[in-house]
Amino acid sequence: MKKTYYNFIEGVLFVLEKLVIQGLNTLNGEIAVHGAKNSALPILAASILNGSKNLLYNCPRIKDIDCAVKILNRLGCATKQNGSIISIDSYSLSGYDIPESLMAEMRGSIVFLGALTARCKKARICYPGGCEIGQRPIDIHLEGLRRLGVIIDEEHGMLNCRVDKPLTGAKISLPFPSVGATENIMLAAVTARGETVIGNAAAEPEIADLADYLNKCGAIVRGAGENTIYIQGVAELHGAEHTIIPDRIVACTYLCAAAITGGSLLVKNMNPLHIEAVLELFEQSGCRMMTEPDRVHITAKKPPDPIHTARTLPYPGFPTDIVAPMTAIATIADGTSIFVENIFENRYKHVAELIKMGADISVEGRAAVIRGVDRLYGASVKATDLRGGAALVLAGLAAEGTTYITEMPHIDRGYECIEKSLSSVGAKITRLCTP
Ligand code: UD1
């Protein structure tokens, strides 16, 4: 009988699994991108606002979405998952607190705060967990919600929120275009009295997708996807059907998989307009890129050319989530690449693991200098966080010999069966249940 092994990661029990990758196989073929985690999460939270039936298509089947559905169930919503379709009936919502165990599973759980305070007039949650890629404070979220009239008491890591008087629109200028804070303020503002204007708002495509869904529910949100968002509060919302946009970070990861193996891939079900800053870097690395409205065809150069200097910025700049996958490509580039991470202070945790595989990288503060080597070598490495884990998978594809990657729950938070997608285009990669 097959034996199953378990482990605790960040207080959560997981089956102990590892990826085994036999490297040096060139990837060729077609690969489809699943729905965006960072869109589906706030939209699932938003579904509690309307107290009605919602149908969401193209939801990724990943751990973070499972966690969001568990939160909805715990709050009393009726949910059903059928592949990538999730139905939520939030009429029966009865709770306003989220247990610490669920909050700890992912950072995205914080977006329930705005929606809960708007619907229940109170919320009790603790600080969220998620990837340890930096300090990740939530002061901008809390200040924005306070400006709308939410009273927030913080004690011993718990946030007790209540709304004594009706939430009222306000002009809020964010000190930094935080994605999560923009979403939380939008969620609290759509049913507030009067107009809310969010200045210096995050402009990510996931914000525009959240606004699209909210507008389908009867909200009046304009300007999402740009730097100023205008929200005219409405008395109530109704349920809606919505298709989640494709995951631009997953799309980029697959493009990286082609680039690092010197392959040629057609990446389908994606929006090239969402990754323009990244497409430029692929071109810089010598890849030939052909775009159509919903797909990108990449033909890689072997070895890739180095990336001169890539600096992360809020959208539409080069996204912080792509730094780690791109560093993997740079390890075997024909020269030296430089990355500067301006959003999170701890995005290079995977670098120590890449060095175990033969990479030549030095990190100083926010900058990583990567001198390309002729060859990476398979090693036993540990996924340190979601995107860092993806970088190790990519490195394993290009390494001589066998790479073993542990701490799989990090990768499963954002990628739907990554081994299945990659083996369908020629990678030798399997998942084993083993200590
Ligand atoms: C979201 C994404 C994440 C992505 C990030 C930046 C989700 C679930 N996650 O994370 O994948 O890497 O955007 O594109 O959508 N900050 C504060 N105070 C706050 C909030 C943020 O100082 O209250 C700082 C953060 O520490 C960080 C920067 O602002 O330095 C950006 O964070 P933010 O845009 O909020 O990222 P998340 O919403 O956590």
- Band (144; pLDDT cuts 50, 70, 90): very high
Q: Does ligand 1 have an atom closer than 6 angstroms to the CB of 343? A: yes
- Band (433; pLDDT cuts 50, 70, 90): confident
Amino acid present at 311: R
Q: How far is the CA of 137 from the centre of ligand 1 (A)?
A: 9
Return the minimum-mean-pLDDT range out of 46-50, 132-136, 179-183.
132-136
What span, in angstroms and rounded, lies between the C-alpha atoms of 71 and 130? 15
Q: Does ligand 1 have an atom closer than 6 angstroms to the CB of 175? A: no
Would you state the pLDDT for residue 14? 60
Q: How far is the CA of 381 from the centre of ligand 1 (A)?
A: 27
Q: How far is the CA of 235 from the centre of ligand 1 (A)?
A: 30
- Kindly state the average pLDDT of the residues 296-311: 96
Q: Residue with the nearest Cα to atom 17 of ligand 1? A: 137
Q: Is the pLDDT of residue 178 over 70?
A: yes
Q: Is the pLDDT of residue 71 over 80?
A: yes
Which SS3 state, helix, strand or coil, does residue 431 take? strand
Would you state the pLDDT for residue 345? 84
Q: Does ligand 1 have an atom closer than 6 angstroms to the CB of 344? A: yes
> Residue 217 catalytic?
no
Q: Residue with the nearest Cα to atom 8 of ligand 1? A: 108
| Cβ-contact 115, 46 below 8 angstroms | yes
Q: Does ligand 1 have an atom closer than 6 angstroms to the CB of 414? A: no
| 221-250 tens-digit pLDDT | 999 999 999 999 999 999 999 999 999 999
What span, in angstroms and rounded, lies between the C-alpha atoms of 384 and 268? 28
What span, in angstroms and rounded, lies between the C-alpha atoms of 235 and 166? 11
Q: Residue with the nearest Cα to atom 11 of ligand 1? A: 321
Would you state the pLDDT for residue 372? 98
Return the minimum-mean-pLDDT range out of 63-67, 102-106, 410-414.
102-106
Residue 146's φ and ψ, nearest 5 degrees, are: -60, -40
- Band (134; pLDDT cuts 50, 70, 90): low
Q: How far is the CA of 178 from the centre of ligand 1 (A)?
A: 5
The minimum-distance atom of ligand 1 relative to the CA of 206 is: 15
- Band (131; pLDDT cuts 50, 70, 90): low
Q: Does ligand 1 have an atom closer than 6 angstroms to the CB of 141? A: yes
Q: Is the pLDDT of residue 93 over 60?
A: yes
DSSP 350: T
Helix H or strand E encompassing 115: helix 112-120
Would you state the pLDDT for residue 43? 98
Amino acid present at 406: T
Q: Which of 178, 198, 204, 209 to mutate to test the pocket of ligand 1 (most atoms within 8 A of CB)?
A: 178
Q: How far is the CA of 181 from the centre of ligand 1 (A)?
A: 8
Would you state the pLDDT for residue 155? 84
C-alpha dihedral over 30, 332, 378, 64, to 10 degrees?
-50
| Cβ-contact 54, 240 below 8 angstroms | yes
Tokens 């490195």 -> residue? 395
- Residue 271: HSE in the Cβ half-sphere, 13 Å Cα cutoff: 13
Q: Which of 111, 131, 136 to mutate to test the pocket of ligand 1 (most atoms within 8 A of CB)?
A: 136
| Cβ-contact 383, 410 below 8 angstroms | yes
The minimum-distance atom of ligand 1 relative to the CA of 142 is: 23
What span, in angstroms and rounded, lies between the C-alpha atoms of 423 and 388? 20
| Cβ-contact 310, 326 below 8 angstroms | yes
Percent of the chain, pLDDT > 70?
95
What span, in angstroms and rounded, lies between the C-alpha atoms of 181 and 132? 18
| Cβ-contact 434, 16 below 8 angstroms | yes
Q: How far is the CA of 339 from the centre of ligand 1 (A)?
A: 19
Catalytic residue, from 59, 77, 126, 131: name it.
131
Q: Does ligand 1 have an atom closer than 6 angstroms to the CB of 180? A: yes
What span, in angstroms and rounded, lies between the C-alpha atoms of 265 and 254? 8
- Band (435; pLDDT cuts 50, 70, 90): low
Q: Does ligand 1 have an atom closer than 6 angstroms to the CB of 41? A: yes
- 80: exposed, middle or buried (Cβ count in 10 Å: 0-12, 13-18, 19+): exposed
What span, in angstroms and rounded, lies between the C-alpha atoms of 159 and 215? 29
Q: How far is the CA of 42 from the centre of ligand 1 (A)?
A: 13
| Cβ-contact 97, 123 below 8 angstroms | yes
Would you state the pLDDT for residue 15? 67
| Cβ-contact 103, 127 below 8 angstroms | yes
Residue 221's φ and ψ, nearest 5 degrees, are: -125, 125
Kindly state the tokens that stand for 47. 């579904």
Q: Which of 176, 198, 346, 385 to mutate to test the pocket of ligand 1 (most atoms within 8 A of CB)?
A: 176
Per DSSP, the residues of 185-236 read HHHHHTTSBSEEEEET----HHHHHHHHHHHHTT-EEE-BTBS-EEEE--S-
- Kindly state the average pLDDT of the residues 329-333: 98
What span, in angstroms and rounded, lies between the C-alpha atoms of 180 and 116? 15
Amino acid present at 106: M
Which SS3 state, helix, strand or coil, does residue 103 take? helix
Residue 253's φ and ψ, nearest 5 degrees, are: -60, -40
Q: Residue with the nearest Cα to atom 4 of ligand 1? A: 321
Q: How far is the CA of 422 from the centre of ligand 1 (A)?
A: 29
- Band (136; pLDDT cuts 50, 70, 90): confident
Amino acid present at 244: I
Q: Is the pLDDT of residue 398 over 80?
A: yes
Beta strands 309-311 and 85-89 are: unpaired
Task: For the beta carbon of residue 319, count every other beta carbon within 10 angstroms.
Answer: 22
Q: Is the pLDDT of residue 194 over 70?
A: yes
